Amino acid sequence: MNEQVLRSLLNVEAEQSISKVQIFDEIDSTNSESLRQIQAGATENRLVVASSQTAGRGRRGRQWLSPKNAGMYFSLTRSFSLEASALQSLSLVTAISVVEALHELGAAKLTLKWPNDVLYEKRKLGGILLELQQKEATRFLVFGIGVNIDLPADSIASIDRPVVDLQSIVGELPAPEALLAALLNQLCRNLNDYERNGFSNFSRRWNELDCYRLSDIVIQNGESRIIGKSLGVGADGSLLLQTSSGTQSITSGEIFPSLHPLS
């Protein structure tokens, strides 16, 4: 990854959002590094990117396998002036940004699984881990994004769910700088839009990409399971679930397809 090449490909929104770029050959986790830097007093908005991660982290305490050059692994840190409740919808905006950037690069037919898994034919192509961190009076948000580019067969075999990489979807892989710039350009443009106008511009876009909308699903949240029909996301980014006791607004949990159609 070459910083100059990357910078030459950034749009105005991304250029203005990223004061500092740090490129690592190997690191434990770009999110962990970003959080450490906040704790050490770094205040500028910045990007941490690595060719490999030894302790890549996913949502719900999962591991994110990150072999060298097999994926794009990066974290964008921005100071954050919104309410913590905005986190939910921001994670959806981030997922939309990843899909829009990859569509621009020729990856067609990508979908989303609430809250922010990026899928191709129901296999996972990318994931997002948002972390909020307070340092003195300032709150920072770390947008951690991982996209599978060219996964080795042993990694595919060792991941406990269906995964896919960009290599299998597009005819020709973009250069790493072009891929990262496309992701950052779309993300920064959408984050600025979100900061000005909120989630309203995004709920329709999210619902159009949702692969489980109007499907029967199970939401698992710890020990609790709720069964219903997904109605897509509401105005605040929560998932609307039509259940036997009415429509519920779900703010956390994981979707599983229901094995049996619900009556």
Which positions lie near ligand BTN, rule CB under 6 A? 29-31, 53, 56-59, 62, 64, 73-75, 117, 127-129, 144-146
Rounded to 10°, the helix 200-209/176-197 angle is: 130
**Shortest Cβ 243–ligand BTN spacing (Å):** 26
User: Which of 65/217 has CB closer to ligand BTN?
Assistant: 65
* Residue 58 CB partners (closer than 8 Å, separation 6+): 64, 127, 129, 146
User: Identity (one letter) of the amino acid at 139?
Assistant: R
User: Which of 166/228 has CB closer to ligand BTN?
Assistant: 166
**Shortest Cβ 160–ligand BTN spacing (Å):** 12
Question: 182, 101 in Cβ contact below 8 A?
Answer: yes
User: Which of 38/228 has CB closer to ligand BTN?
Assistant: 38
**Shortest Cβ 246–ligand BTN spacing (Å):** 30
User: Identity (one letter) of the amino acid at 122?
Assistant: K
Instruction: Give CA separation, 109 vs 50, 120, 169, 209, 219, in Å.
Output: 28, 7, 9, 9, 24
**Shortest Cβ 208–ligand BTN spacing (Å):** 21
User: Which of 219/229 has CB closer to ligand BTN?
Assistant: 219
Residue whose structure tokens are 């690191």: 27
- In the sheet where 123-135 sits, what is the strand order? 20-27, 46-53, 71-79, 138-148, 123-135, 117-120, 110-113
**Shortest Cβ 9–ligand BTN spacing (Å):** 20
Nearest CA to 138 out of 45, 21, 22 is that of 45
* Closest residue to ligand BTN: CB criterion: 127
User: Which of 97/228 has CB closer to ligand BTN?
Assistant: 97
